[in-house]
Chains A and B, each alone.
Chain A
């Protein structure tokens, strides 16, 4: 999702049509609610127009009857006026309830739909989606898909049906008036929106781009505020943000000028339509083809009928924005998952031995190999460390093992069968991953634990937390296990967050444990305490330790593999490697030289 894909409206009309059709298909389960909302909205609009028209006719007819001293059946029009007034009022209330009901049902549907579509894409196809700002925009996009119904479909359909009915009824009284009114309605309801859409595209695009640019500048400046201050660059950064904001306002000013112009044109269309109707109707009254009271009716009828097309310019603008949002969402969910699930998945293995043979892997055709000719052997119950500097290919290995990606060549076997023969769920139930940066959800401790085992009871949770040395801390909290931990676990210290992750891994109870720098970023004392808990976690499991540091955990493994730029440069027992010359010894000595 790059910035240059931000467009107000898709340039390709066929694409736009397809997207709209696809969107409507998503709406289908709620079509009854939606149709009811549209019907109510139409009724409400027509009732108001009818009220004005009948009232105009009524007083003109009464005046003529009064002047002539004649009598008039005033019951029907008076009853009509009352009926229109009541329908208008009740209709408005029901319309708003029903359309909102439909909107909220849709929102729930769309969110679940989006989530289930995007879940298989993580993390391989969502690499660029990590920033929370981008995610925020996705959310705004989903909301705007949802708004298509209330802000686009309802006004457009009501406008279309409304105009047909209005013109039909008008034609019953005077064809020429009906025709000219129709023309002006087209002008205000189709021509004007079309023109606005064309003229508004560029400023609209500008305003989106400038808004995003301003937000980026601000976030950049907030995240780096400390540096800006110390290096005396805060004032110039604020000036840059001001200039950016000014460009945003300039684009918004262009849009506002269009809005003002469009409001003016609407007034002009309505008043000119009424004026034309008078010019046509006055001779008709004189020639007797039109009853005198009808001209009062027509004048009010024509003026009021523009209520049906009034929301259309805004609706078309919303359509453009929503279709652009739809394009972004569809592009995202249409990504092919990085791995393809087997048609007939193999049963979980009972002996989870892990074996990599001659594995080649890269992230794309044009990218360098991230792993080259890698061979690893991890029989069940063994412990293996993969050591290497940053960029050596350690995270790629992790991605392959939990099958977020597939290797291009070679074989990865679990329990003697190829990894790609298993269902992804089966594979991931075999691995517990403890990383340096465990993601904690902004929920309670309990909810974060239950993620690993939803059916765990309190006793099970406590046992896990005791082993992870977290339980005692939790009992000091007033809310205990139900304490919310804040955004990304902000209310926990670094050590507590890792312990929570350890407890989660314990609950998962998978046979193979992957430790990805589990103590990185912690101070020495915290690390030492944590190692005991990790030791508990390692008991009875295969362990794959991924690290750039020697010492500590790397002393506890049976075998070490040293990676350099994706290639396996050394392999052996830790003690042997420390003696023989090579990459391992270099790393080892570098560390020893610093801390000895």
Chain B
């Protein structure tokens, strides 16, 4: 915990202790007043000064309640602020390859709601736990000299509370976690049902699904109630011990008063303090749920934060300036997790200033090769050289400044068309953006949008067709004007006319740049000066379209398959 947070938390505890002290004083004054009235038949005139002294006490308690809430909030806010920023940057650093196996919605929930849930632990649970230790002790210090018998009752019952709570809590906590996961599964299932509603209707399965939802909810209720019957016992033990000991204190004081073994004033004073002795524990109980929630959220957050970042300590050199860049892959091996290698000893020369196309069936390693160049994944062995430099020694930021990329499914960010094109180049003049859009064949349809370049694009570029999004992504690449351009199946999922438009744009982009193009449809391949056929993570064939066709090898087979399809 940072010192930044320790201080407001210390203040919160301090305010809580002061408030406890004020309650002791308030009780003492109250006991004095009641004693004078009951035992000495005093009137208002006799007790007036003490009654008046109570008023500023009340005001002080009012002020303390506000102050402790504020410091607790500030501590929680600071934690959330720091952690949220750290978590977000860690996720960014883990990169797209890692994100691919995660649900963006879940991650966003962790960063927003998960981090917020931690407030329950830091701002509520921690200070209250401190108060649970100190306040009852402080009250005992006051009660013992006043009435050692009552003090003894409190001392005997108090330690039983944590003992019982731990005993019951241990079992309940484990069960609770299980329930938590079951609830999460149930919610996920319901969500899945809603998302697949159209499919469910197509299969006329609505009534059946409703029955499943009912059945799952019912079984969740039964198993959860089984857990709660045990879990609630812990709160009952607390309630039982605190209530019973108040009753015992009252009855013991009463009989000693009757037999004249005690004065009324200390008796009443102790009775007023007895509930306060258990109050912090009971308050802590109400934060128990928040604590569970925080632990659940923290588990997920730590899981993300503890995922190690790729080591880039060797990547320090700047990219040596050159007019064109050629890329040379030698014996590159790369794999995701522990699966079979996606690239298995790949050798390939990509000449500078020309278009090289990569073809091959899915899983042959085309996308992995692109991901390697983008630094999203890292090679297990082998080497990639950029002109005369080893890629792993080049500073990642500097390298990426020289690379433009058009992915298979480009992402459109919430914001204007203009901002979407000048992504990362916010100070690019609108004229340059327009020129880039013209080059990408996007200017025409952008001008036709309701607000032209200022048209706001919503969630996932609603309102734009696949081909239009693709051209926006191409415009980004034109604007960036990078010497190396990676195109990942830029015409997948497009109809023939959109494909033709994008092909023209690619040919314009190719002038003077090194282009590596992953092709799905072999039509795109015709744009390339060199074609590499990938198979099981290696290069099976390299050459020009005509040469490869004449060789009647793997390339010819692929082409044949496409014509038949």
Contact = CB atoms under 8 A, between A and B. Distances in A.
A62 interface: yes
A296 B210 contact: no
Contact of A66 (B69, B85, B228, B260): B260
B257 A63 contact: yes
Contacts of B157: none
11 contacts: A108-B217, A112-B213, A225-B99, A227-B473, A242-B84, A260-B67, A391-B465, A428-B201, A429-B204, A524-B521, A549-B496
Contact of A231 (B81, B425, B492): B425
A238 B92 contact: yes
A63 B493 contact: no
B195 interface: yes
A153 interface: no
A202 to B, nearest CB: 18
B95 A85 contact: no
A164 interface: no
Interface string B218-257: 1011001100110011011001100110110011011101
Interface string B191-229: 111111111111111101110011001101100110011
Contacts of B81: 245-246, 249
Nearest to A520: B493
Given A119-B200, A136-B191, A231 B236 contact: no
B149 interface: no
Nearest to B52: A275
Interface stretch (A96-104, A323-331, A341-349, A571-579): A96-104
B163 interface: no
A548 to B, nearest CB: 4
B405 A442 contact: no
A285 B37 CA distance: 8
A231 B221 contact: no
Interface string A280-298: 0011011000001101100
Contacts of A77: 254
Contacts of A402: 202
Interface string A88-124: 1100110011001100110110011001101110110
Given A51-B247, A115-B193, A594 B404 contact: no
Contact of A508 (B203, B224, B493): B203
Given A66-B257, A100-B228, 15 more contacts: A59-B271, A85-B246, A96-B232, A104-B224, A108-B217, A123-B197, A215-B109, A226-B374, A232-B401, A278-B33, A283-B44, A524-B522, A524-B565, A528-B561, A531-B565
Nearest to A285: B37
Interface string A222-256: 11111111111110101001100110010011001
Interface stretch (A5-13, A125-133, A375-383, A537-545): A125-133
B264 A286 contact: no
A525 interface: yes
A404 B496 CA distance: 29
Interface stretch (B53-61, B170-178, B292-300): B53-61
Contact of A218 (B37, B112, B194): B112
Nearest to A78: B251
| Consensus secondary structure, chain B interface | helix
B550 interface: no
B548 interface: no
B1 interface: no
A220 B414 contact: yes
B191 A229 contact: no
Kindly list the 10 A-B residue pairs having the minimum CB-CB distance in the complex, ordered from nearest. Answer: A594-B523, A260-B69, A108-B217, A224-B411, A233-B424, A231-B424, A63-B264, A55-B250, A104-B221, A122-B197
B314 interface: no
A508 B199 CA distance: 12
Contacts of A216: 414, 459
Interface residues of A, number: 155
Nearest to A292: B38
B376 interface: yes
B521 A119 contact: no
Contacts of B480: 231
A523 interface: yes
Contacts of A126: 197
B100 to A, nearest CB: 9
A408 interface: no
A63 B38 contact: yes
Interface in A513-541: 519-528, 531
A229 B405 CA distance: 10
B362 interface: yes
Nearest to A267: B61
Interface string B60-78: 0111111111100100010
In this complex, the member of A69, A226, A548 whose beta carbon has the largest number of chain B beta carbons within 10 angstroms is A226
A111 B239 contact: no
A433 B34 contact: no
A64 interface: yes
Contacts of A259: 69
B201 A122 contact: yes
Nearest to A272: B58
